[in-house]
Structure 1
Amino acid sequence: MKSPLLQFTNKGIYCKEAKVYLDPWKPVDKAIISHGHADHSRWGHKKYITHHRNVPIISYRLGEINVTGKEWGETFVINNVKFSLHPAGHIIGSSQIRVEHKGEVWVFTGDYKTEDDGISTPYEPVKCHTFITECTFGLPAFKWTPQAEVFEDINNWWAQNRAEGKTSILFGYSLGKAQRLLKYLDTDIGKIYTHGAIENMTEVLRPLVDFPLTTLITKETKKEELLGNIVLAPPSAHGGTWIRKMVPYVTASASGWMTFRGARRRRAIDKGFVLSDHCDWPGLLSSIKETGAEKIISTHGYTDIFSRYLRTLGYDARTEATQYGEEENEAALASKSTSAV
C-alpha cells in the first residue's frame, strides 16, 4: 500500500520523500515552519525554512538558528518534492505549507483565519487533495463579529474607563493578538502602555507594520501616569504584582473564548471581547470547501466533533494527534523581557 505523502510521527508531520518535517515538536534535521507561535516553532532543529516575515520572529524567540526565508508562492524543491508557502492570515508571517509530489497535493494550514486583520497577509485558499486543518473553534457556537465592530467596542470601553478615572488593562497574546489590538486602538483617547513582553515583540515587528507609539511600563512608571490610559499585557501577567500599581483599573481580555461567559469568570476578567486569530465555524467550512479537497485531517481543537460533522457532508475526514494547541508560551515570552515590570 502506498505511503501517504505526509505522515504523523512522534516528532511531527513528516514528508518521507523529502526527509523534511512540518512544524515538528521534537528536534529534527530540517523543519518547515508555518508561523512563530511556540507550539509550531520550537528550538533545536538544525535547519529552519519559513516565510521571510517570520524570520525575525523566530530568530528573536529561538536565538541563533540556521534559518532561510521564502516568498509567498515561491516553489522550492527538496528531493523531487515541491514545497511552497501561502498566506494563512493567522498572524504576521503565518503560512500554509503546500506539498506536491507526483501529482498529489497536500496543504498543511498550521493555524489560520479568514478575516483580514489589516496587519497579516490575508488568507488565500490553496487547491489540494488532502487538507490538514486546525479546528480550535470547530463548533457552530463560534461565529465572529466583524473586527471593526469589536474594535469600536474596545475603544468605547477605554473611553468610558478614562471618563471614570480608571486605567484600562487589556490582555492579549504577546505575538499576534497584541499587535492586532495595538493597530486599532484610538490614540485620541489616551496613551498606550505595554508590558515588556509585548513591547519587545512589537519592536521586532515595527519594521513590518506601522504601529502607534507605545510606552513601556517600568519600575519607575507612576500610577498617576497610567490613569485613564490603556495597558496591553499578556494573559500570564494577570494577577502579578506589577498590576497593583495600576489601581483603580478595569480588566478585559480579547479572545475567541470570550464567546462563553464562563471563560471570563474563570479568568477573573471584568470584560470580554470576542476576537480570535483563528477561523470561526463558518470560516473553517468555507475554507475546506474552497480547497476542493476530499480528504480532511483535523489536528487540534474540537477534532472529533468537527471530523464527524465533515463526514456527514461527504468528506473523508479523520483526526490526528499533535502537540499543537497552546497558542504561545507566555511565561517564556515574559522572561525574554529585559525590563522589570
Structure 2
Amino acid sequence: MLRRALAGAPRQVHHLLWAALLTIGAIGQAAMAEPALEKTEIRYQGWAGQVTFTELAEDLGYLAPLKLKWVGNTISGPQDIQTVVTGDVDIGGAFYGAIIKLIAARAPIRAVVGYYGSDDNTYNGYFVKEDSPIKTARDLIGRKVAVNSLGAHLEFVLREYLARNGLSPGEAKQVTLVAIPPVAGEQALRQGSVDVTTLSGVLRDKALERGGLRRLFADTDLFGNFAGGSYVLREKFIKDNPSTSRKLVEGISRAIAWAQATPPQEVRARFERIIAERKRNEDASPIKYWKSTGVAARGGVIGDAEVQVWIDWLVKDELLKPDQLRPSDIYTNELNFYRPGKAAEAQ
C-alpha cells in the first residue's frame, strides 16, 4: 500500500519518507527496549574528597535519565547501609560483614554490586612506629589499635589476623579497638595515642613518604586480592522499582568496569573534574594517589566465595548460627550489567 502511494512521487520525496519511517521505527524499538522508570531520583551519601562509583556512573552518562540527589557525606560503611535500612537514602555501601549482620537481624536489604576491595595497589595496612616493639600478633595483647569504625572491615581483618596467629578469644579481647577518623590515624600513632593504626590509599602513601612507620600486616596478606563490600538496596525498593533498580545497578557496574579498564591517570583526571564541579568545599588532593578500584570481578559481579568467607567468620565468632545464612540470601547479580548469561562483553 505504501509502495503504491509512493509510486508517482519524486525520488527525493520517496527517500525522505522512507528515512522518516525508519527513524520512527528506531524510536519505537528504543522505547520498547527502555521501560519507563518508576523513580527518577536516587538519594545517596557521598564521601568527602572521593568520587563514588554511583557518582562516576552519572558523570559517564550511564544513569540517564536517573538523577542523583546527594544528601550529605557518610563516615563509614555501617552508617551508610543503616540509612538504606531506615529509608533515608536509596543506595549505600559497606563491608560484607556489616551487610551480613544486618540481614541476619532481618534487615530487608540485598547486596547488588561489589564496589571495593583490596589488591596490590589498593589495600588496608596496619602500621606501627618504626621503633615499636610490636613485631607479632601476640605483641598486640594490651595494645590499642585505631580503626575507622567498630564492627566494620578493619575490625574483622584484625580479629582474623589475631585468630590465625594463635590468640585465644580471651587474649584477642585484650586488644583494644579505638574508633578514630582515618584522617587522624597517622597523628594518633605518632603521638602515642594508639600503638597501631590502619592506613589506606592517600593516607597510607603520604604517611609512608614522611617515614618512621613500619607495616605490621595488611588485609591482602590474609585474603589475597578480594572484594570486600557491596552496594545494597532495600528489597522493597527493588520490588517497587524494578526498572529503576536495574538502570541504577547496571550503570554502577558499567562505571566500575570503565575504571577497571581505563588508565589510572585518566580515571584520576575525571575524578578531579567531578570534585571541582560539584563544589562541596573539599580537598581533592587524595585523588592523585588513586591507583585501582580494588574490585576483582569485572563490573563488581559478586561471587559466593567472597561472601561465604565472612559468613564463616561470623559463625566462628558465634554471631551467626551454622547454616543460618547462605550467600544467596545476601546478594543478587540479577541487576548487574555483567551478570552471568548476559552478553555484555562486547558493549
Q: TM-score, normalised by structure 1?
A: 0.31
Instruction: Work out which of the two has the higher radius of gyration on C-alpha atoms and give 1 or 2.
Output: 2
**Structure ranking higher in strand proportion:** 1
